[in-house]
Structure 1
Amino acid sequence: MTDPLAEVVTLLKPRALFSKAVIGAGPWHISRSDVGQPFYCLVLDGACRLSVDGEDAIELRSGDFVLIPAASDIAMSSLKPPERGTPETLPVALGSGEFRIGDQAGPTDLRMLAGNSSFDSPDARLLVSLLPRLVHVRGVPRLATIVQLVRDEFREQRPAREVILSHLLEVLMIEALRSTAGTGAPPGLVRGLADERLAGALRRMHESPTREWTVAQLAKEAALSRSAFFARFSRAVGVAPMEYLLAWRMALAKNMLRQNESGIAEIAQRVGYRSASAFSVAFTRHVGLPPARFAREQSLSPSQI
């Protein structure tokens, strides 16, 4: 059976940028801006505070894991932050990928692992929009194990390192996202899959993107009336059913064009269009440039574009 969540994460193509261990002592605060880059951290001991994009801070305790698929502005501090106006704390490298923040002497009161990655997908912004903005998981030992594996692999220069890291990051993201599955999750794919009625329709869209779906047919898959399905889907996933289907088809098409393994006519059929011309019109309207041009630009190296 098709797994939409796994498909989305796999298409994102996560790639590790760094992973480090952080120890803290006394009062400290630090901020960073990583526009669009995924950020994660795991608190091993102690506690701290985290604020994303200026919103109210949340308290992270030992065993807590946080994943932010598209971080913008992140601020972290000790539970009791420094007095207002105190200069931002600068991490001090201790070697072996470890950093110390706050007081540089005396007992520590925080240990955490933090990492930053990137998405290599050309459609990352769309795919990330289907995920929760912030994932906060408490007390899931499996996540701690995966994060430690990421950190260990990052430190070692062993063969196939990048392949292992990319797969570990996929597992980490899927594990974190499914740990938050529930009707109380923010609107997005995770919340939609938590709804038994909607999950069936979502899986069918991912399983058969070539089918000429209508809202009525999808509503039948969910055993709901057309109006009830439309309202329930839009509320849970955050977009209308046909808008989601179009986005998924375009994400698949972009991935195929990027791999440059099929012609435009074949890709059109594989994402549900009867003709290459109909597909080209839809793709151009959605992406902003024709599929052939998109494929050419994707085949160029960054220095050539």
Structure 2
Amino acid sequence: MDLISEVIRTVRVGSAGARLIRNPASAGLRFAAFDGSGFHIITRGTCWLIGHDEPVALRPGDIVLTSSGAEHGLSPVPRALADIPLFEPGADLPVSEPASFEFLCGAYRLDHGTAPQYLRALPDLIALSPDYDRHPELRSLIDLLVADVAADRPGSGATRRALLDLVLVQVLRQWHEWDGSAGWPAVADPGIAAALREIHENPHRPWTVGRLSEVAGLPRTAFSRLFTTAVGRPPMSYLTGWRLARAARLLRETDASLASIAPKVGYSTEFAFSAAFRREYGVSPGRFRTAPPTLTGADVR
């Protein structure tokens, strides 16, 4: 299964937005933690990525991936994160010339649920310096996204989300190329990899820890321990999250009834599916479906 494609489908159930910030305050901008994922692309000038580790110098073309919405800041000089002014989504930033740096923000906000496990397993903040000579398509996509954000024209509701998806795909590919991993999770044990493949491809099956351990060819206790270590969640917790993430996509992307979605994601009844979905997302499947994702250029973190 193509995990990058799956994560793109998952983040699509939330709202997406992009904003070009040309005139940040001289003290920089701090972005609060949020449920979702996003990226910054430095378009002009230099700055520093401020997180909870050492500051990282950034130059034009560098990309910052906030894989699961961690708090962070961009500043013209290294400083403590708490000393950077908080960015208010939707606020008009004061214009001051010349700006010390400019950057493009792209974000997927998940109003219900959390970022996919794929992204939560990555480092909270990833700074990349792409090789644009080897990957000119990424430069072209960034230029298109910048142009689309700068001129809000008819059709932007379709083009912007598509461009955000394409840029995120390219950023994840760059990360995997740099990190040396061909996919996620980076599971050394072939048995755990086999169990994950079954969960991803056949979430509708009546899985138990025992049945998954048989797929893995491991004793049940050893399987549970190895799976949790490799993936970050126990087997049944991971299975539930995957099932309901797929259900969320079906609710948003199709008009299938709840009764038909339930068995596709491993629930014997509509009632059981609805109860599990409400526990995971905080709303009923019906309400989730009738509150479609939005695309906004202002409310970006």
TM-score (norm. length: structure 2): 0.71
Please name the residue that 1:51 is paired with.
50
Q: Structure 1: which 5+ residue stretches go unaligned?
A: 103-110
TM-aligned CA distance change 1:234 to 1:117, over 3 Å? same
Q: Does 1:33 align with 2:31?
A: yes
Give matches, 1:46-195, under 5 Å.
Answer: 47-52=46-51, 54-61=52-59, 63-71=61-69, 73-79=71-77, 93=95, 100-102=98-100, 112-119=102-109, 121-127=110-116, 130-131=119-120, 132=122, 133-141=124-132, 142=135, 143-181=138-176, 191-193=184-186, 195=188
* Partner SS, residue 192 of structure 1: coil
Give, in angstroms, the shift of residue 268 of structure 1: 1.2
Work out whether residues 35 and 72 of structure 1, in 8 Å CA contact, stay in contact via their aligned partners in 2: yes
Comparing 145-154 and 72-81, the one that deviates more? 72-81
Please name the residue that 1:17 is paired with.
18
Please name the residue that 2:208 is paired with.
214
The structure number with the bigger radius of gyration is 1
Give, in angstroms, the shift of residue 86 of structure 1: 11
2:76 maps to amino acid: S
TM-score (norm. length: structure 1): 0.70
Looking at both structures, which has the greater relative contact order when contacts are Cα pairs under 8 Å and sequence separation is at least 6? 2
Give, in angstroms, the shift of residue 152 of structure 1: 1.6
Q: Which has the higher strand share?
A: 1
Out of 244, 247, 263, the position equivalent to 1:269 is: 263
1:118 maps to amino acid: Y
Work out whether residues 51 and 57 of structure 1, in 8 Å CA contact, stay in contact via their aligned partners in 2: yes
C-alpha separation between the residues in 2 aligned to 1:35 and 1:17?
A: 17
Give, in angstroms, the shift of residue 270 of structure 1: 1.1
What whole-Å deviation, never above 9, does each CA across 1:52-77 have from its counterpart, x for those lacking one?
3x543222245431111444543222
1:29 maps to amino acid: A
The alignment yields a C-alpha RMSD, in angstroms, of: 4.2
Number of residues of Structure 1 aligned to a counterpart in Structure 2: 277
C-alpha separation between the residues in 1 aligned to 2:85 and 2:3?
A: 45
1:30 maps to amino acid: G
C-alpha separation between the residues in 1 aligned to 2:78 and 2:275?
A: 56
Q: Structure 2: which 5+ residue stretches go unaligned?
A: 87-91, 294-301
C-alpha separation between the residues in 1 aligned to 2:212 and 2:77?
A: 48
Work out whether residues 268 and 274 of structure 1, in 8 Å CA contact, stay in contact via their aligned partners in 2: yes
